[in-house]
Amino acid sequence: MKPSRLLLQCRAGFERESAQEITAIAAEMGVDGFVKARPDSAFAVFQAHQDEMGAELGEHIEFSRLVFPRQMVRVGEALTLEERDRVVPIVAAARALGTRFSALWIEMPDTNDGKSLATLTRPLTPHLEKGLKKAGIEIDAADAQYRLHVFFIGSLACYVGISDPAHASRWPMGIPRLRMPRAAPSRSALKLAEAIDEFIEEKDRAKRLAPGMTAVDLGASPGGWTWQLVQRGLMVTAVDNGPMDEKLLETGQVKHRRDDGFHFRPSEPADWMVCDMVESPSRIAHLASRWLAEGWAPQAIFNLKLPMKKRWEEVLRCRQIIDEALGGGGYYLRMKQLYHDREEITCYLARQRKTLR
């Protein structure tokens, strides 16, 4: 059976933006449908008007295109479970999807109510694994194409579905397990660490972030993003009128320039520009675009602090700003609301021929 619905996990409070985004992308692909989403539920479900079109959408949509969803799973109808036996209906739904899966992920919404479901899923997991095995369903099959997901939305309700690891998050619930480094000057260090993990493939990181490369950090104080770059051996120009962490300055890899990030001009091109300033999204989009257009850096990672309303519209506006500033092409752009982001999204922009829109 090919699941006809798309379950999108997101940050609580961003269900509407996830719904707007998936509806727009589906329409681009010629698929009409509707979204079921409750405010602050941390997930949304897209249902195509025609099941076969929904199944096709699920097979061809690129997870990397999505800004707001953290995880994407192709699911069937929500299951209503019985307290005396939750395993049997879940196993039956899984059996309808296949008999070999690369992994079993049990997930729940990233909310306080969702976290309380962990007390249910922990003892249930071994019984579910046993039930799957008894039904002839193999988990951890090395050559299996799909992962099996069980997404609990309540103690007696769940979705069962599949994901292609190549087009879904590498982390359960889309949440990377990153530890806050004790030496980092601020928690913002985790945002850049997650961004690097998200946007740069592991096999390319040693080359793309090599010791001795140069970077400019606009709005650097107190130095969370600068710290991440220093840990990778980069030489950083930290631009901010505010103070920088003293231990960072003692590394010899950081030059502190007391200046405004919008006024600063580099004396020579850098390998990277990064920016986490609290400013309007459109102003930051213009700034990042200019760094590439002027040849000051070939690539940038930056955050866009979104407004309380019309956040999806603001994302589209910033895409248009970047497109117009860079001549309508010749660049690569990805935008993602990362787990460590709040009311913002993180962007990766590079001067390349490949363009992601």
Active site residues: 305
List helix spans (H) across the chain.
15-28, 51-60, 87-95, 112-116, 118-134, 188-199, 202-208, 224-231, 246-250, 281-293, 311-325
Say how far apart CA 180 and CA 297 lie, in whole Å.
29
* DSSP letter, residue 267: S
Say how far apart CA 203 and CA 123 lie, in whole Å.
37
Using alpha carbons, select from 43, 35, 62, 50 the residue that is nearest to residue 149. Answer: 43
Strand partners, 162: 74, 148
Helix (H) or strand (E) holding 154: strand 147-154
Biggest CA–CA distance in the chain, Å, is 70
